[in-house]
A and B are shown apart, each in its own frame.
Chain A
Amino acid sequence: MAIPGQGWMAWGALGLVWVPLLVLVVHSFNAARLGSGWGGFTWAWYRAAAGNEALRAAVLNSVILALSSTSISVVLGTLLGYGVGRDPKRAQGWREGLLRLPTVVPDIVSAISLVLFFSWVRRWLTAWEPGMTQMILGHVGLQLPFVALVVRARALSLDPALAEAARDLGATPARVFWHVTLPALRPGVVAGALLALTLSLDDFALSFFNGGPGSTTLPVYIYASARRGVSPEVNAAATVMLVLTAVLALVALRWQRRGRPLARGVTPSA
């Protein structure tokens, strides 16, 4: 069954999501300033972006923030998701609810909750200042439930006999985890990592409220320079980040499928 018009509605929706991205990329090569039509192709904005120290620092901060928070949340989230999902009796109920809850909290609320928390922490740790560390801690909190939920779903779909088979074949519990459980969870871990990366790159509220003077990320930089209007240099920087992310994602997806034939699910007749 098909919903009448589902095809063009789908393409329309996808188009709306992609329009701003195309504007961004096109204008990063546009010699004319934003909003004034096509003025010819140029690399000038890329050169300008590379020469803009504040912008460079902001991009670098965004990358550092995304990569470090993603690494932490993937490790913790995998263990957490597997810890919850390996036992179907535990996987549902309050544990699942506790993991789902943070995923629907508005980001502004998460952001100000951390502001309150760290101002409270400063009563004891007077030297604590908002900045990169606080942002990383916050981003991990944002990503962790998502990663754990994705890995949990994967763990739930695994045959519990897999780990037993490995044990039966002489693997110690640690080697069972390393040689069987982790590889079997891999699609979930990769998906969770990409999701975590997306969440971090897309965040503004948390960085805005929890950053410090030296930790300005790209979105905070843009917001701060909003009054002056957006410079096309920002488009260039954002395009570079987008390409880097895409490359990273492709590598991750390839690694997930490493060694696997492309045409999966094609079963030869018995």
Chain B
Amino acid sequence: MDARLRDPGGGEPAQGSAEVPSVELRDVHRAFEGAVALAGVSLAVQSAEFFSILGPSGCGKSTLLRLIAGLDLPDRGEVWLRGKPAAAVPAHRRPVNTVFQSYALFPHLNVADNIGFGLRMRGVDRVTRARQVAEAMDWVRLAGVGGRWPDELSGGQRQRVALARALVNRPEVLLLDEPLAALDRQLRLELQSELRALQRRTRITFILVTHDQEEALSLSDRVAVMRAGRVVQWGDPVSLYDRPRTRFVAEFLGACNVWTARVKAQEGREWLVELPFGGLVVAPGELTCTTGGQVEVGIRPEHLELRRAARGTASGWQGKVESVRFEGAGLEVSIRLGEWSLRARCGRAGEESAWREGDCVELSLPREHLLFWEVGG
């Protein structure tokens, strides 16, 4: 591979080994004039992985990217690249390239020269450069626009140029800072699948920063959810969605019904929790709580089970359909249960799901889909 990837100290290049993470952060802290951006972040991103950092704006995710790129340094903690501390490696010698949120295309260079900039800085000769630039333009389906100027391109084309400009250097790690945020939905979806395919093809480690949970969940091998300068939870998208460790993660990754409930009793290894609108549910023993204390209980709308209320049966809760919102592929049904309101999502198939306002409904909360958290998580 290329000389830039090797440690300047002359150590053995450690690429490709599964045990050595591409990027590792060890208890990284960073504050700006008193405002804490990162408060102790530790992460390991494996080689050839598509990793996403997801969080609301201001959670420190862009700062994290800048630390990996070497455009900023941590106050405390360490950034390791391919098994070596990167503190002494300046940005221009790191095997890392970035796709900037604003794209940051050089206005005085045409598309081909923009893409070839990194190669030129490394002293790659003109002929090789032209070949590699053409190849990179093929990857991102930009063939034929090499002579154009950045200000003549559409948003999607600029995005592709920024991507090609980074990828052409064959970095160990590609950082993407909200690369699709400025594009409209149709184009965003199209580019998402292209990104995914590119990552699979090039086997480059991708680290994507986004505030769009759908984007993170659909593209990534693993996702880290950040909040206020910390990583709250990281793992594969399915486990994050199904077993969020805090209420914040649950609500950030998708809609969720959440209530505060009282712990009624301990029963064997499990807890009995009383819901605010009546009824008991069983919480797993691992939950840290005390009898008489409070916990938060959640369930995702698609996991609520609705049935037409049969007169006389009293199994489960009885409610009334408050409103129905048509969502194309399904319905979102809002159900009133005394003073409580619940959201449920159901498909449109079958007579069973033709809900109307005012319908009486009987609902159940399947035990395996219930989520429990300590209060304030």
Contacts and interface: CB of A to CB of B under 8 A. Distances in A.
Interface stretch (B20-28, B49-57, B117-125, B353-361): B117-125
A261 to B, nearest CB: 7
B102 A264 contact: no
A186 B98 contact: no
Contacts of B169: 169-170
26 contacts: A159-B104, A161-B104, A162-B104, A162-B107, A164-B69, A164-B71, A165-B98, A165-B104, A167-B92, A168-B69, A168-B70, A168-B71, A169-B92, A170-B92, A170-B93, A170-B118, A170-B121, A171-B92, A183-B106, A184-B106, A184-B108, A260-B149, A267-B151, A267-B152, A269-B154, A270-B156
Contacts of B110: 259
A161 B121 contact: no
B100 A161 contact: yes
Interface of A: 159, 161-162, 164-172, 175, 179-180, 183-184, 186, 259-261, 264-270
Nearest to B107: A184
Nearest to A259: B110
B93 A166 contact: no
Interface residues of B, number: 34
A264 B71 contact: no
B100 A165 contact: yes
B144 to A, nearest CB: 12
A260 B106 CA distance: 13
Contacts of A270: 154-157
Contact of A175 (B71, B106, B121, B165): B121
A82 to B, nearest CB: 15
A171 B102 contact: no
B304 interface: no
B210 interface: no
A261 B150 CA distance: 12
Contacts of B220: none
Interface string B102-115: 10101111100000
B96 interface: yes
Contact of B102 (A159, A172, A184, A260): A159
A169 B117 contact: yes
Contacts of A167: 70-71, 91-92
A16 to B, nearest CB: 37
Contacts of A179: 117, 121
